[in-house]
Structure 1
Amino acid sequence: MSFSNFLSNLKTKAGELKTEALKFKNKDFLNAAMSGAALISMADGSVSSEEKQKMIKFIESNDALSVFTTSDVIKSFQDAVTQLEFDKDIGEAKAYQALGKMKNNKDASRLLVRMIIAVAASDGNFDENEKVVARKIARELGVEPSEFEL
């Protein structure tokens, strides 16, 4: 193996490590985002296709989450929804626990609140049940709901 091939392989491996490190670093944010999306999507009793599409578009356009594959995002979202459907109380506890991990990061918390509001409104109706959940999520994240007109 030539020295230039060695350097090329080393750069490739370093890039792979960086990607893996970013995934690990943002795993809590991914879980919080998908937990929030699941909570707000289930607030009216069902998850609409518009809500799913809005959530996927948000993830794909968010730098902090762009390191995740769409399949990772969908799996995390489906896991959160499945937990909520199986046992609402335990599912909610796990979802709010995931959200709580972002509480000390104000920028991430505000971004999460904006995301869940966008997901909720994606079907053209931001109803009172969804607003109640949005307010609860904001409080869990340590963000004042009135900051988002909730």
Structure 2
Amino acid sequence: MALWKKLRESTQQMQSQLLSKKNELKSGAFRDASMAMCALVAAADGSVDPSERQRTASLIAGNEVLQNFPADDLQHRFNDYVSKLTADFAFGKVSVLQDIGRVKKNPSEARAVIQIGIIIGGADGDFDDTEKAVVREACFVVGLQPAEFDL
């Protein structure tokens, strides 16, 4: 139970940090990288069942920072990324990581995308090793050290 409490506190802290930067996080690159990250975390184990897709979509819709963008646009982009990953995970992951990498030049956006991945991964109370691994990989793509996020 202590691990769950620590994860919940960590994600709440990250969400607060994101909210403080909400007005800075409005670029198309951030939008796309965020949806790519959400899809990557959802598909980390190589598949996305309908309930997982719905849960992630609900988290996206309810995230105050992502409300900078139209919900239907986010949903469409998320579904496109999930389709790429479920069609061929290895090939889709390369494409998805490229889109995540587009925020590398903006450290604030890069950090926010990683935080969104952690928030999505921990939302079910179990930020598992496969989810951590894809977020860690995304850290390298955007030029951040995984240790900064306890990965």
TMscore range, shorter length = 0.7 to 0.9
Correspondences of 1:67-86 after superposition (within 5 Å): 67-86=68-87
In the alignment, does 2:57 pair up with 1:55? Answer: no
CA-to-partner distance for each residue in 1:43-98, whole Å, 9 max, x for gaps? 1332513333222222xx11xx4342110000000000001111222211111110
How far apart, in 2, do the equivalents of 1:88 and 1:50 lie?
20
Superposed CA RMSD: 1.5
1:104 aligns with: 105
For structure 1, the 5+ residue unaligned runs are: 1-24
Give % identity. Answer: 30
3-state secondary structure, aligned to 1:43: coil
Does structure 2 retain, via aligned residues, the 8 Å contact 1:36–1:112? Answer: yes
CA-to-partner distance for each residue in 1:8-60, whole Å, 9 max, x for gaps? xxxxxxxxxxxxxxxxx7222111110111001111332513333222222xx
Paired AA for residue 122 in structure 1: A
Does structure 2 retain, via aligned residues, the 8 Å contact 1:138–1:144? Answer: yes
1:148 aligns with: 149
User: Among residues 34, 45, 48, which one is paired with 1:46 in the alignment?
Assistant: 48
Runs of at least 4 residues off by over 6 Å:
none
2:121 aligns with: 120
3-state secondary structure, aligned to 2:94: helix
Number of equivalent positions: 122
How far apart, in 1, do the equivalents of 2:67 and 2:77 lie?
14
CA-to-partner distance for each residue in 1:96-140, whole Å, 9 max, x for gaps? 110111001100011111100000111111011111111001111
Does structure 2 retain, via aligned residues, the 8 Å contact 1:51–1:123? Answer: no
1:18 aligns with: none
